[in-house]
Amino acid sequence: MEIYELTVHELLEKLDKKEITKEEILASYQNRINEKEKDVQAFVTITEQEAKEEIKQKANNPSKLAGIPIGIKDNICTKGVKTTCASKMLENFVAPYDATVMEKINEAGMVSFGKLNMDEFAMGGSTEHSYFKKTKNPWNLNKVPGGSSGGSAAAVAAGMVPWALGSDTGGSIRQPASFCGIVGLKPTYGLVSRFGLVAFASSLDQIGTLTKDVKDSALLLNVIAGHDEKDSTSADREKEDYTKALKNDVKGLKIGVPKEYFGDGINTEVKEAIEKVIEKYRQLGATVEECSLDVADYALATYYIIACAEASSNLGRFDGIRYGYRTKNYENLKDIYRNSRSEGFGAEVKRRIILGTYVLSSGYYDAYYKKAQQVRTLVKNEYAKNFAKYDVILTPTASNVAFDIGSKINDPLEMYLADLCTVPVNIAGLPGISVPCGLNSEGMPIGFQLIGKPFAESTILNAAYTYEQNTDFRKNKPEFKN
């Protein structure tokens, strides 16, 4: 097996046994990027040359992860390296500071290979809304990799980085992980610091991991989780070692499967795949029951109101005054604002800013934003009710597999529907993980989602791990079909 095909825990074992060196790891991934990036287009900025230097500097770092490469979604601030959010607005923006997660990554001695493509400001589910390029799905280059962390998912699936960081506001880690046949973990809101993550929707955003398998997710979560004084919404909890939770045993685990996610909207092949997952869990000794998430129907509308409202405010700072894109075409202050924002933002971002501005405006606030917050409470309560009975909730990650590039770009509503299964998890602030569970007849990956109680990452990681260890789906490799 090639080095770039190994998981990080496998790399660590081989390093430990001195079967490979850090230089070989670096070289293997560099070659892979040289070979595949031209087809996949996952990176906005490649920093492998800097990484080479960094590895030398970090040669004496005692951390076991020292020298392990990583890819970073381009909305996480990296000191001295551009953070563009895949937007013309921030095309040349270089943050003078590291996000808290980057400080942790650096402390662990890992080296960033670069910044990964995404939907502009993380708004979208296909990575087609990047200002710079369209990232391709490594399983089929005509398909989208999902989004918004599409660059992260595609880079990991293509073996250009062993793992990556993404961000998830309504499914932006789990859905691309599902589309690209890898594992994507969105932690509980507050487990990972948001300081340095360029905000899309502050009450929903969470940084998480995209990895080749579940053990790597636990390993990377160990690095990035933890309280941060710089983020008021970060939870002050004791640190856990998530790798210790991986017991390969789900006997007695109670799994609820909400019937609402198996209706007409779900593709038949996806439904069949999920049924097999349920069967597998039963075989492994878990109890699986049908349950109900009554408010599921309202979750999507609630999500788009809250997310857009917060985005409309969060993106106000991109005004052409202090940093970022400024129009050349202005005569007064209003022109600077109007033209910089009109020219600097893409269509999807503008659509959401307008929507968000509308739902917050005087006279509409109560009907939309306030009501959405009330439904949000109902969604939380509904989950709490289910978690009184079940340890985890199982759903498809996405209603279908990766779609053709360009097929939904002109139909935003259709695109929003792709988030149906993932969005409620963000609304309730819960942890969720997407795990590969097979390929459809076209050879495209399918994923299922496990949702846990707040801060029950250990529970969902163990459930995901047990499934993974007792199936072979993670051994499927993308073929870069054209």
Window contacting other proteins (CB under 8 A); options: 3-11, 218-226, 229-237, 248-256: 229-237
Under the criterion CB under 8 A, does residue 96 sit at the interface with other proteins?
yes
DSSP characters over 334-401: HHHHHHHHHHHS-HHHHHHHHHHHHHHSTTTTIIIIIHHHHHHHHHHHHHHHHHTT-SEEEEESSSSS
Q: Least distance to other proteins from the beta carbon of 205, Å?
A: 9
What does the block give as tokens for 59?
A: 């040669």
Q: Are 258 and 296 in contact (CB under 8 A)?
A: yes
Applying CB under 8 A, among 53, 229, 289, 414 the residue interacting with other proteins is 229
Catalytic residue among 172, 217, 234, 340: 172
Q: Are 113 and 46 in contact (CB under 8 A)?
A: yes
Under the criterion CB under 8 A, does residue 332 sit at the interface with other proteins?
no
Please tell me the count of residues contacting other proteins according to CB under 8 A. 44
Strands (E), 159-239: 163-168, 183-186, 206-211
What does the block give as tokens for 263?
A: 């209706």
Applying CB under 8 A, among 63, 272, 321, 354 the residue interacting with other proteins is 321
What does the alpha-carbon distance between residue 334 and residue 312 come to, in Å, rounded to a whole number?
A: 18
What does the block give as tokens for 267?
A: 């593709």
Q: Which residues pair with 290 in a beta bridge?
A: 257
Show the binding pattern over residues 386-425: x = contacts other proteins (CB under 8 A), - = does not.
Answer: ----------------------------------------
Q: Which residues pair with 137 in a beta bridge?
A: 140
Residue type present at position 280: K
Q: Least distance to other proteins from the beta carbon of 335, Å?
A: 12
DSSP characters over 94-113: B-SS--HHHHHHHHTT-EEE
Under the criterion CB under 8 A, does residue 322 sit at the interface with other proteins?
yes
What does the block give as tokens for 325?
A: 């894109």
Under the criterion CB under 8 A, does residue 333 sit at the interface with other proteins?
yes
Applying CB under 8 A, among 19, 53, 56, 97 the residue interacting with other proteins is 97
79 is catalytic: no
Q: Which helix (H) or strand (E) holds 175?
A: helix 174-179
Site for other proteins in 337-376 (CB under 8 A): 337, 357, 360-362, 365, 369
Under the criterion CB under 8 A, does residue 85 sit at the interface with other proteins?
yes
Under the criterion CB under 8 A, does residue 325 sit at the interface with other proteins?
no
Window contacting other proteins (CB under 8 A); options: 72-80, 171-179, 257-265, 410-418: 72-80
Under the criterion CB under 8 A, does residue 90 sit at the interface with other proteins?
yes
Catalytic residue among 28, 112, 148, 149: 148
Q: Which is nearer to other proteins, 187 or 436 (CB)?
A: 187
∠307-309-310 over CA atoms, to 5°?
70
The residue among 466, 433, 436, 468 whose CA lies nearest residue 452 is 433
232 is catalytic: no
Catalytic residue among 73, 104, 115, 143: 73
148 is catalytic: yes
What does the block give as tokens for 98?
A: 């590291």
What does the alpha-carbon distance between residue 481 and residue 371 come to, in Å, rounded to a whole number?
A: 46
Q: Least distance to other proteins from the beta carbon of 134, Å?
A: 24
Site for other proteins in 162-201 (CB under 8 A): 194-199, 201
Cite the active site residues: 73, 148, 172
Q: Give residues in contact with other proteins (CB under 8 A).
A: 75-77, 83, 85, 90, 93, 95-97, 99, 194-199, 201-203, 229-233, 309-310, 312-313, 316-319, 321-323, 333, 337, 357, 360-362, 365, 369
